[in-house]
Structure 1
Amino acid sequence: MKVFRVPIALRLFLTVLLTTLLLTTVSLGVLHWAMQKNFAKYVADVEMQKLDHLMTNLAEVYTVHHDWGNAIQAQILQIEGEAGPDDYDRLSRWWLRRQYDIALQQRYFEEHTTAMNSDSLNKSDIKQGLNEEEIELIRKNIPSEFQPFEGLIFPLSANQNLVRADKKTDSNLTNEPSKKQYIAIPDRLGLSSRLSLYDVNHQFVVGEPSPDQVSYRPISVDGKVVGYLGLKPVLDQDDALSINFFSNQKRYLFLVYAFTFLVSLIAASLLATYFKIPIQRLLRGTRELTKGNYEYQVKINRNDELGDLSCELNQLAVILDHHETSRRQWVADTSHELKTPLAVLQAQIEAMQDGIRKPTPEHFESMLRQVTSLKKLTQDLADLAQAEAMQLKCYFAEVNPWAVIEQEIDNFKPKFEQAQLTVTAQGDNTNLLLDIDRFKQIMVNLIGNSIRYTEEGGQIHIHTEQSTTEWTVYVDDSPLGLTDEQLVNLGQRFYRVDDSRTRATGGTGLGLALSVKITEALGGKLSFEHSPLGGLRCKLTFPKHIKQ
């Protein structure tokens, strides 16, 4: 049963789209909620900026009396006469409004007197018909914040020229005709009916208490807060104007939401396509690799992780192609190397069976040489396979490598004499952490290779050099020499410089390749160079073992 899968491009598309929509929905929702909750307070804060004169007057009143209750009581007691039963309560409620009216009149007077005293008169002032006599009349009748009830007498019912100070109760407060006249300044913003005064602990003192949210401004005297002036918001989120305003805002937010959705849809689609195309190419490339098409290359020109992945995939294809070629060459070379001695051995046995060759000791010795060659070939193949798989067993111990080399030179003396080669050896003793049998195997391969590829009458020079950290032995021989191309290929499996000569001397083409792998397993390095003697130089280097 085929399981339904969601493609990665579709997942990316949905993730980007839904994430953008979620963020937009939350952001616009929070914005709308914050506007509804804080817009009225914001308007009140703006209105509070117009109360600077009132706050200055209140601070000066507090400076004189040092307490809001004392200030209100002292200013009410300035009124002459005998108060009625509820006169004190009415005046206490009216006190803050009266202070606002006084501040408004003072500001009005200051603004217009400044205009009258300026070099050029404002056209707006001329239209209002204000002249010097009227300005003087205003100046004489401006009340003081220290005497807000000047002109009133107790009981309040005895006052004439009613001044409507409170829509519900305070409709009979007047000024005495013989004293300052009460000049009404219109309160176009309606601030007086929404003011309230609080002490330093935010406890209500006078004014219009409100259970709704109130905007506060601190009243300071000599840098110390002594109270707060509160203002009830003029807007209510449930009134008709507010509902209409927020309805318009909802429409604008919906348009923003729709536009954001459209842009997110396009951006998510482009982003998904941007990632989908290279992923499909990578998928196609991996499918080609599984089919064995190692020459297939993925073309993605991008400077990101997908571009890096395509480069790695192409490099993997190159490595797999190289390994496949090497595997095929390995099989072909191994088959060829096994086939030759087996064919010779088969021909000799068939000749004996047919009576062409007699089973003499010489013929048996020739057959034994073929069997020995097969045995050595299979052993070298097994060792090389273990070395390449990093499974070659090594038993390390402290060894004097130069003593081992001298011993092997003595063992090769008959072959040196047979090939008429001059051998010189000079080296230094040291102690290295090596597997003595594996080290002998390396030296046997190197010396044997020099014997096979050095012409009769030539020379072989074996010598060492060492530093505080490394010990190196050189095996130099005289021609035959090698070309640069041959030198590069030296050490590869089944590679022979002179194929016919190597077969005649019993070489399999695995000795140097096996020596390279064994050296690496022992922690050393084997390299090949042109020899100063004109032939090949084998350079074998091992790190010195430092005792702790």
Structure 2
Amino acid sequence: MSALEGLRARLPRPLDPLRSIKIKFGVVAVVTACTAILIVVWGYALGFRTRHTLPVGMLISLGVTQLIAHGMTSPLREMTAAARAMARGDYSRRVRATSRDEVGELATAFNTMAADLAEADRQRREFVANVSHELRTPISALHAVLENVADGVTPATPEVLESALEQTERLGRLVTQLLDLSRVDAGAAALDLAEFDVAAFVADVAAEAEAGHPGVRVDTDVPAGLRALADRDRLHQVLANLLDNAARHGPPGRPVAVTARPGGDGGLVLEVADEGPGIPPSERARVFERFSRGAGSYGGQVGARDGGTGLGLAIARWAVELHGGDIHVVDTARGCRIRVAIPADPAAAAEAGSGRV
């Protein structure tokens, strides 16, 4: 923004206190008419003819109208300039929103949109950097292993092949998360609801987590005979992502705990707890946002032992909200505990809260 544009942006706007643009137009019309009439009357009193005073009155009225209307139209000009800057990739421009009328509301909404676009652009850039890093690490390791085997430097022992397999599994997990993210962006998916045994379900997911994180033990506490109505695959996404985060951020050698119990409304409550550093209260609102890698050390945040894209908990929240449920961080004296609540009738709850997804 140039110095002249900055000066114009700071000029006073006398009509800003008025709450309706219709009233402002009325004021402009009245001031214009009164100015023209006064010039004609004063000119007649001074002995000038109407054919002389009327053009002068009209010109002065237009000048007064320009001064008054400048404040009405300047937000629109600022929005035009800011929109052009956004088209060039500059999301830092904001509009001076001091008016109380419809134009002022539009300016406020424009500033909110600009802030959202700036945040989305920041997340996009961070996401590209994170995914590039996540892809480069296993690809480089896999390339090194296969190159050594192909050159005969390293024999193709079971240990070497297992190392290569671990890297391909890591790549597979990343691709799966990106596909899940594409489903989130495409909108709410249909639920395949079915009743299943919760104890067997938790045991299966816990076994997968232990296989994917050697050295991590998952302790389960599920009442016998507990059953739930949900989309088993989606709920598998939720629990698997929570266990993955807990395993990566909990201290080595310490177990991760999974508990399940009936909900107060007849639904299902799942909790995953670890003994890691936990999530600071200031980060708990952001930890479920996609690509979130804030100051905290959980959910793909800084401090993970093997990195992360910050997608796991965002996908978990999407799958829970798809059921009309709730996921949040629970206060605990040690470590981190995340609670998932699935209602007794996920289809009805999801339909009632479809606007949240």
TM over 0.5: yes
In the aligned structure 2, how far is the partner of 1:414 from the partner of 1:328?
33
Partner of residue 162, structure 2: 365
In the aligned structure 1, how far is the partner of 2:302 from the partner of 2:74?
53
Q: 1:120-519 to 2 correspondence within 5 Å?
A: 268-390=65-187, 393-400=189-196, 402-403=198-199, 405-408=201-204, 411=207, 418-420=215-217, 422-426=219-223, 429=226, 431-432=228-229, 434-455=230-251, 456-458=253-255, 460-468=257-265, 471-485=268-282, 487-491=284-288, 492-493=290-291, 495=293, 496-497=300-301, 499=303, 501-502=305-306, 509-519=310-320
Displacement after TM superposition at 1:461 (Å): 4.6
SS in 2 for 1:314: helix
Partner of residue 325, structure 2: 524
Partner of residue 352, structure 2: none
TM-score, structure 2 normalization: 0.68
- AA aligned to 1:484 is P
In the aligned structure 1, how far is the partner of 2:170 from the partner of 2:137?
10
Partner of residue 20, structure 2: none
Percent of matched pairs sharing the same residue: 24
Tell whether the 8 Å contact from 2:265 to 2:343 is kept in structure 1 after alignment. no
In the aligned structure 1, how far is the partner of 2:171 from the partner of 2:292?
14
In 2 relative to 1, CA 517–404 (structure 1 residues): closer, same or farther, beyond 3 Å?
A: farther
Tell whether the 8 Å contact from 2:94 to 2:114 is kept in structure 1 after alignment. yes
In the aligned structure 1, how far is the partner of 2:268 from the partner of 2:78?
51
In 2 relative to 1, CA 372–522 (structure 1 residues): closer, same or farther, beyond 3 Å?
A: same
Q: Deviations over 1:150-189 (max 9, x none)?
A: xxxxxxxxxxxxxxxxxxxxxxxxxxxxxxxxxxxxxxxx
SS in 2 for 1:297: coil
SS in 2 for 1:278: helix
Tell whether the 8 Å contact from 2:205 to 2:240 is kept in structure 1 after alignment. no
SS in 2 for 1:502: coil
In the aligned structure 1, how far is the partner of 2:312 from the partner of 2:209?
20
In 2 relative to 1, CA 508–373 (structure 1 residues): closer, same or farther, beyond 3 Å?
A: farther
Tell whether the 8 Å contact from 2:199 to 2:223 is kept in structure 1 after alignment. no
Tell whether the 8 Å contact from 1:525 to 1:540 is kept in structure 2 after alignment. yes
Q: Deviations over 1:335-383 (max 9, x none)?
A: 1100001111111122223332123333222212212221221121111
In the aligned structure 2, how far is the partner of 1:547 from the partner of 1:376?
28
Displacement after TM superposition at 1:20 (Å): 6.9
In 2 relative to 1, CA 516–20 (structure 1 residues): closer, same or farther, beyond 3 Å?
A: same
| Uncovered stretches (5+) of structure 2, i.e. residues with no partner | 1-24, 38-49, 294-299, 349-357
State the superposition RMSD in angstroms: 4.0
TM-score, structure 1 normalization: 0.46
Q: Deviations over 1:128-155 (max 9, x none)?
A: xxxxxxxxxxxxxxxxxxxxxxxxxxxx
- AA aligned to 2:89 is G
Q: 1:32-71 to 2 correspondence within 5 Å?
A: none
Q: Deviations over 1:216-267 (max 9, x none)?
A: xxxxxxxxxxxxxxxxxxxxxxxxxxxxxxxxxxxxxx99x969x7597576
- AA aligned to 2:344 is K
In the aligned structure 1, how far is the partner of 2:166 from the partner of 2:256?
28
The alignment of Structure 1 onto Structure 2 pairs a total of residues equal to: 297
Tell whether the 8 Å contact from 2:267 to 2:344 is kept in structure 1 after alignment. yes
Instruction: Tell me, yes or no, if structure 1 residue 535 matches structure 2 residue 338.
Output: no
In 2 relative to 1, CA 397–378 (structure 1 residues): closer, same or farther, beyond 3 Å?
A: same
In the aligned structure 2, how far is the partner of 1:283 from the partner of 1:413?
53
Tell whether the 8 Å contact from 2:273 to 2:337 is kept in structure 1 after alignment. yes
| Uncovered stretches (5+) of structure 1, i.e. residues with no partner | 1-11, 25-253
In the aligned structure 2, how far is the partner of 1:267 from the partner of 1:494?
53
In the aligned structure 2, how far is the partner of 1:298 from the partner of 1:487?
31
SS in 1 for 2:91: coil
SS in 2 for 1:462: strand
Tell whether the 8 Å contact from 1:474 to 1:539 is kept in structure 2 after alignment. yes
In the aligned structure 1, how far is the partner of 2:332 from the partner of 2:127?
30
In 2 relative to 1, CA 273–518 (structure 1 residues): closer, same or farther, beyond 3 Å?
A: same
Q: Deviations over 1:294-322 (max 9, x none)?
A: 11111142111111111111111111111
- AA aligned to 1:537 is R
In 2 relative to 1, CA 322–346 (structure 1 residues): closer, same or farther, beyond 3 Å?
A: same
In 2 relative to 1, CA 445–430 (structure 1 residues): closer, same or farther, beyond 3 Å?
A: same
In the aligned structure 2, how far is the partner of 1:300 from the partner of 1:498?
37
In 2 relative to 1, CA 493–282 (structure 1 residues): closer, same or farther, beyond 3 Å?
A: closer
